[in-house]
């Protein structure tokens, strides 16, 4: 028998009408006896209706492009470590902004609802699951009260228009150990003067320095291979001066619980341009050298403070993250983004530890720098 379009249109309507009739009859027959039975019948009818809608082929066939994009997004986050880094450092770039790929999920979901694409909604389960497995734990507050020592790290910015105010804010931060990066020769005296009262001990090597309430000893520079250094501090330096300007140091802080090895580092800047892509060679070389220094460190208690110009998700820092833990990931609340100060989107200022226990980790208010200070409370 030939089915007319008019009959096709009427079939779902008739089925829905039967469900409605069943619901009404079931509810009317039992409403007087047990009100819950009427609700149960209506619930079963709603389930049957939803199954019929989902079993229709049309919603599953809609939005093939959205389905492909959802699956691609999930695979991109799942296999980010296998993305080749040789072509303009694409892998490193993806890993730097990896948490933000989750924003594509609501965009694709909106498209799926607009297109009424059931297959896209199902496909989105992959990127949602992957993102939660990677970053779901970051969203919770893992901090604990207490701690023996407060450490702070801040890239004060060579172009900082208010070093006096920055020094004042840092002195009031309550830090026991304070690391500064991107110290210019012009501003160094300002920080030394502004921090002298709160911190009787300090050491400066090139463009990095450490201020402490506890005595310091065994201080030395760490070679982080910055012969081609770039950025604001390098604009007025000759090649010889660049090679002779340290960007990392190592010192020992005397604490009540014993000696603590502290590293302060400012790794090479990262540049993004259409031709070269993500330029990271100087930073990556510095990360490798820093990793070797930490591996050779005899003290089991180590804290690394600094502007590493990269996130801990970046494969370039595998040599460091395999030895040290991130205080923010261990005891922080949220991602702890630190740059740029006006609208932070990445955490490139790090506090990494070994042999001590982070109790809490947080981001301090903005100063005159383009970076936010980062802080952590550690214990033994």
pLDDT at position 343 is 96
For the question of whether the overall pTM of this predicted structure is more than 0.85, the answer is: no
Which residues neighbour 46 within 8 Å (Cβ) at sequence distance 6 or greater? none
List, for residues 179-191, the tens digit of each pLDDT value: 999 999 999 999 9
pLDDT of residue 81: 86
Alpha-carbon distance of 280 to 43, in angstroms, equals 59
Strands in 248-255's sheet, in edge-to-edge order, are: 216-221, 248-255, 258-266, 302-307, 349-354, 325-326
Query: What are 100's strand-pairing partners?
Result: none
pLDDT for residue 141: 93
Site of tokens 């296999």: 79
Output the 3-class SS for 149-165: EEEEEEECCCCCCCHHH
For residue 298, give both structure tokens: 């005899």
Coil, strand or helix: which one is 110? helix
For every residue of 44-85, DSSP letters joined together read: HHHHHHHHHHHHSHHHHHS-HHHHHHHHHHHHHHHTGGGS-S
Find out whether 68 and 104 touch, Cβ atoms under 8 Å: no
The reported pLDDT for the residue numbered 31 is: 46
Which stretches of the chain score pLDDT less than 70? 1-39, 49-60, 86-88, 226-244, 273-278
């Amino acid at each position: 028998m030939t089915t007319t379009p008019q009959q096709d249109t009427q079939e779902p309507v008739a089925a829905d009408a039967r469900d409605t009739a069943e619901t009404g009859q079931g509810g009317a027959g039992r409403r007087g006896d047990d009100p819950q039975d009427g609700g149960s019948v209506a619930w079963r009818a709603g389930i049957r209706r939803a199954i019929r809608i989902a079993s229709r082929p049309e919603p599953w066939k809609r939005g093939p492009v959205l389905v492909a994009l959802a699956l691609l997004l999930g695979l991109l986050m799942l296999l980010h470590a296998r993305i080749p880094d040789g072509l303009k450092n694409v892998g490193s770039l993806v890993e730097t902004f990896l948490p933000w790929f989750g924003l594509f999920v609501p965009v694709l979901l909106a498209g799926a609802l607009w297109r009424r694409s059931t297959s896209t909604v199902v496909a989105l389960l992959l990127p949602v699951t992957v993102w939660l497995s990677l970053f779901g734990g970051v969203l919770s507050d893992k901090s604990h009260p207490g701690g023996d020592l407060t450490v702070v790290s801040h890239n004060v910015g060579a172009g900082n228009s208010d070093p006096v105010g920055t020094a004042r804010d840092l002195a009031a931060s309550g830090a026991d150990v304070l690391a500064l990066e991107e110290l210019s020769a012009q501003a160094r005296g300002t920080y030394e003067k502004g921090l002298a009262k709160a911190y009787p001990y300090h050491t400066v090597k090139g463009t990095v320095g450490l201020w402490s309430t506890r005595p310091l000893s065994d201080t030395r520079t760490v070679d982080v291979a910055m012969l081609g250094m770039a950025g604001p501090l390098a604009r007025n330096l000759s090649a010889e001066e660049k090679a002779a300007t340290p960007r990392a140091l190592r010192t020992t802080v005397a604490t009540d619980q014993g000696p603590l090895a502290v590293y302060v580092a400012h790794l090479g800047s990262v540049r993004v341009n259409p031709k070269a892509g993500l330029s990271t060679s100087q930073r990556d070389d510095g990360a490798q050298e820093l990793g070797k220094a930490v591996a050779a460190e005899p003290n089991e208690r180590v804290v690394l403070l600094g502007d590493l110009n990269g996130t801990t998700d970046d494969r370039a820092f595998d040599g460091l993250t395999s030895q040290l833990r991130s205080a923010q990931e261990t005891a922080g609340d949220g991602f702890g983004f630190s740059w740029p100060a006006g609208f932070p989107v990445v955490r490139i200022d790090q506090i990494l530890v070994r042999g001590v226990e982070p109790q809490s980790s947080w981001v301090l208010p903005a100063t005159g720098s383009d970076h936010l200070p980062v802080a952590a409370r550690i214990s033994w």
